[in-house]
Chain A
Amino acid sequence: MLDVFTLFLFNIIVYNIPLLYGTTGEIMIEKSGSLNLGVEGTMAIGAVVGYLAGAKTDSLLVAVLVSFIASGLVGMLFSFLTVTLQANQNVTGLTITTFGVAFYYFIGNALSNSAGGWPSLNGTRLDAQSQSLEIPLLSKIPFFGKAIFSHGILVYLGIVIAVLMWFYFKKTVPGLKLRAIGENPAAADSLGVNVALYKYTHIIIGSGIMGIGGLYMGLNMGGTFEGSNCWINGYGWISIALVIFANWSPAKALLGTLVFGFFNTLRVQNAALAYAFPNALGWLLKIPSHFFSALPFIITLIVLIISSLSSKSRSGEPQAIGRNYYREDR
């Protein structure tokens, strides 16, 4: 029975980490005043490119770097089109999603059909089994220890990124300038902040972070290519939803991903829980799994409505979001 509980906690963390990467990446982009709807595609590109590089070189570090760079390049394309060329952000973002997911299938199918086949992770250091890193002492705590402190290094990296980003926004001068651009780019520009440079940098870094999240999902698929259902499987869209749920704060994103991860885990494990605790949790079986899948989106819908009803002053939403900044329109 305790095993079920530990596994449940363990899986919450496994399921929430890609969301954390996607969400923190998107928060960084949105704080610069850009709405990037291309999270799904950016993650897909980072996943497939990083995976292949990792499988080729047998190095997790290379895989992470390559997926960061590949997704960063996608971010560069987004910034080039929207910041320099003033293209519409919604359309550009959606096209990145179409393009990225198609890229994933195209590369994956082409490789699977080729003579060499899709590279598997068996025997490499990237294999999900060998990734786990048990933190000494802490992982020995009964109940929680194994569930929280025995994950792969990418789990801890995701948490570190979220904490660093929170610090960056709140306590540093560049973070302050970035938030100023997101609120009012014309005012920031008149104070001498290089708006275009800031937007480029943060969109690229944010996209790169998403790419690592995609890589993490790809590495958890047991080394097989999913030809019918993309590895990312809607997590990019949930990440966009989570940004709203977290009110544009990386610290709250940690909490929010736990909440969304909880429902996601419930979807996968409701049967196991219901059998382990038939009296207390037997009703879980009656709820269709589709409901848990839709729940992140339903919650976000409600959060969107409630936050628009309440006063705007406490919302973390950047005021200039979604609008391009063209100096001569001032």
Chain B
Amino acid sequence: MRRYHLVRRADSQLKRTLIYYAAGILISLAIGAVILACLEINPFEYYGRMFTIGLIGNRYGYKSIEGLLKIFVPLLITSLALSLSFKMRFWNIGGEGEFLIGAICASCIAFNSTGMPNFVTVILMCIAAMLSSGIIGIAIAALKVKFNTNETLMTLMINYIMLYVIRYLGDTKAPWNFFLRADSERPIFGSFPESAVMKGIPLGPFTLLWSVLISIILTVIVYVYLKYTKQGYEISVVGDSSATAKYAGMGVGKIVLRTMFISSAMIGLAAALTVSAAGTISDTITNDVGWTGIIVAWLSKLSVPAVFVTAVLISILQYGCQAAATQYPAIDINYADLLQGIILFSVLVADFAANFKIVRKEDAKNA
């Protein structure tokens, strides 16, 4: 007989969860420090440099903020989009693929936009990307609703198919291929004409790109949508139990299709904003947001304000590692991924500790 067993805590206190999470993150950073010490690097100096993302003692500090925001915007929007579908228990792990198809379609417009007004071009790029990504999402949702096709594996396959599509575009020199630079013998992705490059509000030397504002407005919209609208309520009911939703007279299929369209269209939007801000496209344009977004959504327990905070922290982690790499050539961006993995592992443990408790058999009987 087992003398101890697990009981799910009846209440879930925010304070306790936060304390456990903070402890988990601190332990992960400590493990990271041990790894650094093994490589004979002073962890305090390294972390200091990482968390200040190269701002201190840098005359061009605003460049760091711009670089950070370029990582942050796509990550935030993708994480929000993924948490929408995860809330419904729909495992959209095709963020990478949906991002890539959006990026390709937005670039189709961008490369052919010479002479068009900037505002119109960027809006057209966003619409093209949202439609193309949304169609992929709705197609997979339709298969799930109609035939119960496994959406986890379907979206996974889309990621790789799209990756090879963009690699094909990037490697194939042909008269029809307007994605490549015309003046180069070797196949290289071209730069967008000026009309397709994201503009912003100049604040001294610093430029606040429109995409940053759009992403923040979008966060507020998603928060309101989930919290105060009927559709948002339907999503959480379907996620809790699709049987309950059915008995309550909700059209579960319709909700799944609609939410998946919104979710993947948002990822498409993230892609359009990213290519426009970068002024070009490449097969690494996603910067793995499809994968990191899943981690962000999960770390934040699918809550919108938490997604915002987590996306900020993960962006600092990633950009900070890039910034610190100039001082420490042995430690590159992979350290950020390594640390991200360790953080998620410990937060999963912390999450368990916050939601379950171990009780002895006798106690359980008395309770």
Contact between B341 and A90, CB atoms less than 8 A apart: no
- Most chain A C-beta atoms within 10 Å of own C-beta, residue among B8, B156, B295, B329: B156
Contact between B157 and A304, CB atoms less than 8 A apart: yes
Interface residue? A240 (CB, 8 A): yes
Per the 8 Å Cβ criterion, residues 214-236 of A in contact with B are 234
Q: What's the Cα separation between A97 and B290 when bound, in Å?
A: 13
CB closest residue in chain B, given A106: B334
Contact between B334 and A288, CB atoms less than 8 A apart: no
CB closest residue in chain A, given B335: A106
CB distance from A87 to the nearest CB of B (A): 4
Interface residue? A150 (CB, 8 A): no
Interface residue? A305 (CB, 8 A): yes
Contact between A91 and B147, CB atoms less than 8 A apart: no
Q: What's the Cα separation between A35 and B153 when bound, in Å?
A: 10
CB neighbours of A105 from chain B (8 A): 332, 334
Known A85-B348, A106-B338, A322-B152: A113·B329 in contact at CB below 8 Å: yes
CB closest residue in chain B, given A87: B348
Size class of the B contact interface (CB-based, 8 Å): 35 or more
Contact between A109 and B332, CB atoms less than 8 A apart: yes
Contact between B334 and A102, CB atoms less than 8 A apart: yes
CB distance from B303 to the nearest CB of A (A): 15
- Cβ-defined partner of B157 (8 Å) among A106, A301, A309: A301
Interface residue? B46 (CB, 8 A): no
Contact between A304 and B150, CB atoms less than 8 A apart: yes
Contact between A294 and B147, CB atoms less than 8 A apart: no
Contact between B160 and A96, CB atoms less than 8 A apart: no
Size class of the A contact interface (CB-based, 8 Å): 35 or more
Contact between B149 and A95, CB atoms less than 8 A apart: no
CB closest residue in chain B, given A95: B344
Stretch at the interface among B14-22, B73-81, B166-174, B256-264: B166-174
Interface residue? A77 (CB, 8 A): yes
User: Per-residue CB proximity of B89-119 to A under 8 Å, as 1/0?
Assistant: 0010100000000000000000000000000
CB closest residue in chain B, given A307: B149
Interface residue? B154 (CB, 8 A): yes
User: Per-residue CB proximity of A83-119 to B under 8 Å, as 1/0?
Assistant: 0011110111011111111110110011001000000
Per the 8 Å Cβ criterion, residues 244-283 of A in contact with B are 244
Interface residue? A328 (CB, 8 A): yes
Contact between B165 and A87, CB atoms less than 8 A apart: no
Contact between B161 and A298, CB atoms less than 8 A apart: yes
Q: What's the Cα separation between A300 and B152 when bound, in Å?
A: 13
Known A237-B160, A288-B172, A294-B165: A102·B338 in contact at CB below 8 Å: yes
Contact between A96 and B341, CB atoms less than 8 A apart: yes
In the complex, the 8 A-B pairs of residues with the closest C-beta atoms, listed nearest first = A99-B341, A102-B337, A294-B164, A290-B168, A85-B352, A308-B149, A105-B334, A102-B338
Ordered by A's residue number, 13 sampled pairs between the chains whose C-beta atoms are within 8 Å are A85-B348, A86-B352, A87-B351, A88-B298, A94-B295, A98-B291, A98-B295, A98-B337, A102-B341, A113-B330, A241-B156, A290-B168, A290-B171
